[in-house]
Amino acid sequence: MADESPLTPPDPTDPYQREAQTFPTLTDDMVERIGAFGMHEALPAGSMLYSRGDRGVDFFVVLDGEVEVFDETESGEHRVVHVHGANEFTGELDLFNNRRILVSARALHDARVIRVKRADFRRLVAVEADIGEIFMRAFILRRVGLIRHAQGAVTLVGPGHGGDTLRIQRFLTRNGYPHLLLDTERDPDAKGFLNCFELSLDQLPVVVLGDDTVLRNPTNAQVADALGLTEDLDPNVIYDLAVIGAGPGGLAAAVYGASEGLATIVFESLAPGGQAGTSSKIENYLGFPTGISGQALAGRAQVQAQKFGARLAISRAIVGVDCAVRPFRLELDDGRTVRARAIVIASGARYRTLDVENFARFEGQGIHYAATAMEANLCVRQEVAVVGGGNSAGQAAMFLSRAVQHVYMLVRGPSLAATMSDYLVQRIHASPRITLLTHTEIVGLEGERTLEHVTWTQRVNGEQTRKPIANVFAMLGAQPNTDWLKSCIELDDKGFIVTADAHPNESRWSPSPYAASVEGIFAIGDVRAGSVKRVASAVGEGSVVIQAIHQYLSAH
Ligand SMILES: Cc1cc2nc3c(=O)[nH]c(=O)nc-3n(C[C@H](O)[C@H](O)[C@H](O)COP(=O)(O)OP(=O)(O)OC[C@H]3O[C@@H](n4cnc5c(N)ncnc54)[C@H](O)[C@@H]3O)c2cc1C
């Protein structure tokens, strides 16, 4: 167990300290029921159950003896995560997918276990729902514990404010991968580390894996492949349903599709959660009265989809679809193809940028599109600017105002009333740490390597203000992710996908409001023309569309 000195007061938010839920002891009756799905095995002391980096690891329940789950750091230090005794079980979230496992396990003494194979584990969770619930809670808490204690982690070495360091850190965080950041701008140990691996500053950031492999400024896809985040795809499988995009809409389609028996695969170019995954707190999603972070919501939805058997291909973008063949042929960014009988496009939208010189240069080096705890940490005790008048800008301003010295909220229009929910407008006006500047736009961005100064103009009186601001949050709405569709299906003049919803009286359109102009292809969520751009509506459309897919598949 991690760092539990008697001087450290118990931390109620630390999942490892919620021992009874994180490492529960099953009743004898539960163990007996699990026995029906697996086989008994005797393990001599020292034998390995699995090693870090393995894929497709089985599930084990300890009958007697002890099984140690451990991790080894770069310096070879052996760190014990937990020792499982009788009636305890191994595993964490990777049991629901085919990613590489983060930790190793061995029998400490002679032990007897029940080994349950992957496929049988899925059956066990489905049939024995009360036990499945205990597993699910434990697995989520264990993953949160691994992240918090950086166990099973990789090390990211680079300047903390560097654009590529932030990109990789964001990618690891959003994919729930434990990691340690060695900030070369701040950490006194960084020099020794760079010397040891013979790294120069221009090769940063680097990702150092458990086996001492060093990836120099890798792309997200290279990181995903090296860490085994990407599942192996079988080119011979024809899926009933391919979902493109794992935002709230795509994840909902995956949960409902897979739970209703469709062979479902989801392709996601970055990380599950989509735009919602970048929101620090979603307060209007039904059932979460105190709000939930987009990432927590996405993490749960991902596990839920995988529990029902959906496959998730993370860090794999779809770059084309052949609408003329059946089953459809989808082209991946690595050149491979996948076949599917029906397609749900849930590729959402991406952020708008500002038309100001140097904007692209400072993206990720002071210009952010999300305001989560990670970005807030970069701006503690500093002044920041939030640009935009929509709900996402309002939420960002409120969230940041709790951590930073002051927030300047810049909008081009005369007020917030037309574009923002009233509850947010009230809170912004009431906050002494937010200044709302209307009729205002940014005209200058300056800095050596990272953003240092921002200049804005008041458009009515022409007055210019230059401030030492190093972080700007561009919350300007989004444009649809449909470039990859080329000419395959009908789009509106802004690039959003036109669905039957827009043609209620035309018979050539399918009865589903989410049917696109090509039969068998559906569009949901933010990418769909005329959709309500909200988490709940994307989730609703993702669940409802499955009924239309059943109808389409049974008719063809
Ligand atoms: C900062 C912020 C805060 C927000 N807060 C709220 C809120 O509090 N409440 C609320 O209701 N709404 C909120 N929204 C809006 C809400 O997040 C969106 O309406 C919702 O996420 C839309 O879901 P979606 O699944 O349609 O698309 P998205 O969330 O945009 O997800 C689309 C996914 O598809 C992936 N993708 C795109 N192209 C491809 C491709 N070619 N191949 C594979 N994958 C691809 C993307 O990487 C992305 O993950 C917020 C938005 C932002 C940006």
| Strand-pair partners of 282 | 292
Question: What percent of the chain is predicted at pLDDT more than 70?
Answer: 96
- Residue 352 CA to ligand 1 center (angstroms) comes to 13
**Is residue 534 in contact with ligand 1, taking CB distance under 6 Å?**
yes
- How many CB atoms within 10 Å of residue 218? 18
pLDDT one-digit tens code per residue, 338-395 = 999 999 999 999 888 898 998 878 877 899 888 888 788 889 999 999 999 998 899 9
Q: Is 250 in the pocket of ligand 1 (CB under 6 A)?
A: yes
The finding on whether 318 has its CB within 6 A of some atom of ligand 1 is: yes
Strands of the sheet containing 453-458, edge to edge, are 440-446, 453-458, 464-467
Is 178 close to ligand 1, i.e. is its CB under 6 Å away? no
- By most ligand atoms within 8 Å of CB, the mutation choice from 535, 539, 545 for ligand 1 is 535
Q: Which atom of ligand 1 is nearest to the CA of 528?
A: 26
Query: Which atom of ligand 1 is nearest the CA belonging to 316?
Result: 43
If we measure between CA atoms, which residue out of 255, 238, 239, 126 comes closest to residue 544?
A: 255
pLDDT of residue 8 exceeding 50, the answer is no
Identify residue 415 by its one-letter amino acid code.
Answer: S
pLDDT tier, 192 (very low <50, low <70, confident <90, very high otherwise)? confident
Roughly what angle, to the nearest 10 degrees, separates helices 129-148 and 118-127?
A: 120
- Which of 243, 255, 279 most suits a substitution to test ligand 1, by most atoms within 8 Å of the C-beta? 279
C-alpha 278 to ligand 1 mean position (Å): 9
The per-type count for the chain, helices as H runs and strands as E runs, is: 13, 28
**Which of 347, 375, 424, 539 to mutate for ligand 1's pocket (most ligand atoms within 8 Å of CB)?**
347
541: Cβ below 6 Å to ligand 1? no
CA distance 262 to 241: 7
- Identify the H or E element spanning 440: strand 440-446
In ligand 1, the atom with minimum distance to the C-alpha of 525 is 26
Query: Ligand 1 pocket, 298 CB below 6 A?
Result: no
Lowest mean per-residue pLDDT among 12-26, 110-124, 369-383, 427-441: 12-26
How confident is the model at residue 74, as a pLDDT?
Answer: 64
Is pLDDT of 221 > 60?
A: yes
Which residue bears the tokens 């992240």? Answer: 147
Q: Is there a cis peptide before residue 327, judged by omega within 30 degrees of 0? A: yes
DSSP-derived secondary structure letter, 144: H
Residue 402 is classified by DSSP as T
293 close to ligand 1 (CB < 6 Angstrom): no
Q: Which of 519 and 147 is assigned the larger pLDDT?
A: 519
Determine the Cα–Cα distance for residues 152 and 81; give it in Å rounded to an integer: 9
DSSP letter string, 58-87: -EEEEEES-EEEEEE-TT--EEEEEEE-TT
Q: What pLDDT sits at residue 162?
A: 83
pLDDT band with cut points at 50, 70 and 90 for residue 17: low
- Would the CB of 88 count as within 6 Å of ligand 1? no
Q: Which residues, including other chains, have CB under 8 Å from residue 422's CB and lie 6 or more apart?
A: none
Q: What percent of the chain has pLDDT above 90?
A: 59
- Decide whether any atom of ligand 1 lies within 6 Å of the 248 Cβ: yes
244 lines ligand 1 (CB under 6 A): yes
Query: 246 CB less than 6 Å from ligand 1?
Result: yes
pLDDT band at 197 (very low <50, low <70, confident <90, very high): confident
Span 141-160, average pLDDT: 83
Query: Can you state the angle between helices 248-259 and 535-555, rounded to 10 degrees?
Result: 40
Residue 513: helix, strand or coil by DSSP?
A: coil
Instruction: Flag whether pLDDT at 399 surpasses 90.
Output: yes
Euclidean distance between the first and the last CA atom of the chain, given in angstroms as a whole number: 55
* Distances, alpha carbon 304 to alpha carbons 37, 136, 188, 298, in Å: 21, 9, 42, 10
Rounded to whole angstroms, what are the CA distances from 360 to 128, 163, 367, 418, 444?
A: 52, 11, 9, 29, 13
pLDDT digits (tens, 9 = 90+) for 498-513: 999 988 778 777 789 9
Query: Using H for helix, E for strand and C for coil, what is the string for 102-125?
Result: CCEEEECCCEEEEEECHHHHHHHH
| Atom of ligand 1 lying closest to residue 532 CA | 19
Question: In angstroms, what is the span from residue 246 Cα to ligand 1's centroid?
Answer: 8
- Helices (H), ranges, 340-487: 373-378, 391-401, 422-430
